[in-house]
Structure formats: C-alpha cells, structure tokens
Structure 1
Amino acid sequence: MRADAVQRREAIIGHARHVFAARGGDVALEAVAAASGVGIATLYRNFPSRDDLIRAVIEDMVREILAIVAEARAAAAKDPAEAWKGLLARLMEMELGALTDGLVLQAGAGTDAAGASPLVQIQQPALDALEELLTILKRTNAVRTSITAPGVIVAVATITRPQAPAIRDAAPGVPGELAEAYLLWSSAG
C-alpha cells in the first residue's frame, strides 16, 4: 500500500474512533467519511463494511493499549506505584467509556464456535499483556491482589463513560474524582 494510502486509512480510523465515541457505533458512515475528509467511496474502498471499520478501530485501540502497557512495564522496573498511576492516567485518556458504549453492541454481534465475540478475540492480546503487568505490580505490592485485567478495563470504561449533558454540567469533576478514587482503592500500599 502506498504511503499516502496508509496515512489516509490511519486518518479514517482515528476520526472514526472520535465519531464513534461521540455519536455511537451506529452513526452513518457518511459522518465518519466527512470527519475524515474523504468521500464515502474512499471510506468503502478502505473498509468494505461497517464491521470492517469497527474491527479496525478496535484493533487500533488494542495497539494503543499494548503500547501503554509496554511503557508501564518498563516504568515498573524503576517505580511500580508510579507505573500503575501512569498506566491508569493513559487509559483514562483513551475514551474507552465512549468507545465501549459506541462499539460493544456492533462488535459483539456474533460469536465463534467457542462462544467468543469478535471484540473479545481482538482485545485478548491487550488483556494478556495487562494481566502480565498486573502480575509484576502485585509482586511489588503496587496493586491489590484482586485486580484483574478485565476489571481494570471495565473500571476505566465505566469512569470514562459519557454522561448526559445535564449530569456532566452538574458535576463536571466527578470523572476525575472517580479516577483518583479507583487509583487509591486499587493500590496496595
């Protein structure tokens, strides 16, 4: 694939993440194309179906989580508690709550012979890497022994889930406060 085509594809995925986070996974693909600055035909040349685009967005998120976990793993060698704090801060920035709301129904529509949805299959490498990091952090008493990789992702997604404007306006600082509370609760020390 040509370099400009790769860049265009990556731009579509990045814009799709934001559009899905803001408007849900069932948003018209024309809106994704418009946000990406491409025509609908270009979007369909890159992603023949909505499922293909959603899969690419989820794969992009998994790559980002893998990079964040790798950075935290390297940082854990020096300061496990700071590595945990940094990991949570980076995960909170990813719009996981909005993307979960927007994509989970779309991506989880079918299952394979073992009963796993495509979403679970795609995200498994990130969960495995996060679980390995948590094992290290548990050994150093940086996190509670009860913390699990799926639990971390669910907690982050729950905290970052978008709220109705009236609720968000009434208590704008609550997501940050919940993130701090989760960090304090999950830390072993």
Structure 2
Amino acid sequence: MRADAARRRQNIIEHAKHVFAERGGDVALEAVAAAGGVGIATLYRNFPSREDLVRAVVQDMVEQIIGAVERARTGLDADPSGAWKNLLSSLMSMKLGALTDGLALQACAARDLDSAPLAQVQQPALDALNNVLAELIRHRAVRGNLTALDVIVAVATITRPQVSPIRGAAPGVPEQLAEAYLHWSLGVS
C-alpha cells in the first residue's frame, strides 16, 4: 500500500473512532467519511462494509493496547508498581469507554460473545494484558485475582462519557475513579 493510501486509511480509522464514540455504531458511514475528509467511495474502497470498518477500529485499539503493554513490560522488573501505574494511565488515555456503545452493536450480533468476530480480533490484546498482569502479580504489584477482562471493563466503565450536564456538574469524577481503581488494584487480594 502506498504511503498516502496508508495515511488516508489510518485517518478514516481515527475519525471513525471519534464518530462511533460520539454518535454510536449505527451512524451513517457518510458521517464517518465526512469527518475523515474523504468521499463515501473512498471510505468503501478502504472498507467494503461497516463490519470491515468496525473491525479496523477494533484492531487499531488492540494494537494500541498491545503497545501500552509492551511499554509497561520494559520497566516492569525495575519498577513493577510504576509499570502498572503507567500501563493503567495509558489504557485510561485511550478512552475505551467512549467506544463501548458504538461497538457494542457489533458484539451483540453474536449470542456467544466469545465466538463473536470482534472477540477474536480483541484476543491478542487480552492475552498480552493477561501475560503482563501475571508478571505484575508475581512481583506483587497488583491484586492476585486481576484479569485482563477485569481491567478492560473497569477502564471502559471509568472512561465512558457522560452527558454534558453531568460532565459539567462533576468534571473531575473520571480522574477520581481512575485513581480509586489504581489504589484498589494495588491492594492485597
């Protein structure tokens, strides 16, 4: 793929994340194309179906999570608690909760979430996170019963956007919840 085509594809994915987060997974793909500054034909050349676009968005998030896990792994032996704090901070900054509504439609299409196509795309991130959690548990840096799915669900819950009046009334609550989760996760199980 040419460099300009790869940049255009990544641009569509980035804008799709924002549009799905703001308007939900059933938003018209024309809105995604417009947000990305491309025509609908360009979007469809890159992603022949909504499912292809959603899969690409999820794959991009998976790659970001794996990257965060790898960065945490590099400092784990020297400073396990610091590695966990940095990893959790990285995951929180991804605002996974903003995508829960937008991507939940795709997951709900399957009765068994483990067999859903998106579950298969997400598995490498869960595996990587479980592996680093095992090391963190071995170093006694986190609770012994913490799993990747626990962490992802907690992060998604904490970073889930609230309606504007609630955000305005209590703007610091997500950060407070993130700090409380960090403190809880460091506790003895």
Could you tell me which residue of structure 1 aligns to residue 163 of structure 2?
A: 164
Could you tell me which residue of structure 1 aligns to residue 129 of structure 2?
A: 130
- Does the Cα contact within 8 Å between 2:80 and 2:141 map onto a contact in 1? yes
Structure 1 gap segments, 5+ residues each: none
Could you tell me which residue of structure 2 aligns to residue 32 of structure 1?
A: 32
Counterpart of 1:175, as a letter, is P
SS of the residue 1:33 aligns to: helix
- Does the Cα contact within 8 Å between 2:143 and 2:185 map onto a contact in 1? yes
- How many equivalent pairs are there? 188
Could you tell me which residue of structure 1 aligns to residue 50 of structure 2?
A: 50
SS of the residue 2:118 aligns to: helix
Tell me the percent identity.
66
Structure 2 gap segments, 5+ residues each: none
After TM superposition, what 4+ stretches of structure 1 lie above 2 angstroms from structure 2?
A: none
Counterpart of 1:6, as a letter, is A
Question: Where in structure 2 are the equivalents of 1:109-188 lying within 5 Å?
Answer: 109-110=109-110, 116-188=115-187
CA distance in 2, matches of 1:50, 1:84: 35
- Does the Cα contact within 8 Å between 1:54 and 1:107 map onto a contact in 2? no
Q: 1:188 to 1:139 in 2, by over 3 A?
A: farther
TM-score by length of structure 2 reads: 0.95
CA distance in 1, matches of 2:186, 2:94: 21
- Does the Cα contact within 8 Å between 1:111 and 1:118 map onto a contact in 2? no
Using the TM superposition, give the Cα deviation of residue 28 of structure 1 relative to its aligned residue in structure 2, in angstroms. 1.0
Using the TM superposition, give the Cα deviation of residue 188 of structure 1 relative to its aligned residue in structure 2, in angstroms. 3.4
CA distance in 1, matches of 2:105, 2:138: 36
CA root-mean-square deviation: 1.5
Q: 1:153 to 1:142 in 2, by over 3 A?
A: same
CA distance in 2, matches of 1:51, 1:162: 24
TM-score by length of structure 1 reads: 0.95
